[in-house]
Amino acid sequence: MKFPERIVVDPEVMGGRPCVRGTRVTVGLIVGTLAGGHDRDEVLRLYPYLTSEDIDAALAYAAWRADEQEVPAAGG
């Protein structure tokens, strides 16, 4: 798992959306930019304070979240 040390969720930063540690760049922004046809090098040019490892962590986090299963609460 590549993301735990790089991706943080803090209610005080970007409304609690997962971000790259020390930035306000959300996982959703990175994944959306890549999904929109931009390549990794372009993301790094747009956000020069990110690293390739930050992008890897964002993708790993997004994959992990996409694979989660929701379990209904008891009695609900």
Structural domain boundaries enclosing 12: 7-66
| CATH code (residue 33) | 1.10.10.10
- Distance in angstroms (rounded) separating the CA atoms of residues 59 and 39: 13
Using one digit for the tens of pLDDT, what is the confidence trace for 18-73? 999 999 999 999 999 999 999 999 999 999 999 999 999 999 999 999 987 777 77
Calculate the dihedral angle through the C-alpha atoms of 27, 25, 52, 32, rounding to the nearest 10 degrees. 50
pLDDT grade for 1, boundaries at 50, 70 and 90: low
Burial of 49 (0-12, 13-18, 19+ CB in 10 A): exposed
Residues 25, 61: Cα–Cα separation, whole Å: 14
Number of domains in the chain: 1
For residue 32, being part of any structural domain is answered with yes
Q: Does 58 map to a domain? A: yes
Global pTM value: 0.84
Does any domain span residue 73?
no
39 in any annotated domain: yes
Residue 74 placed within a domain: no
Asked if residue 47 is part of any domain, the answer here is yes
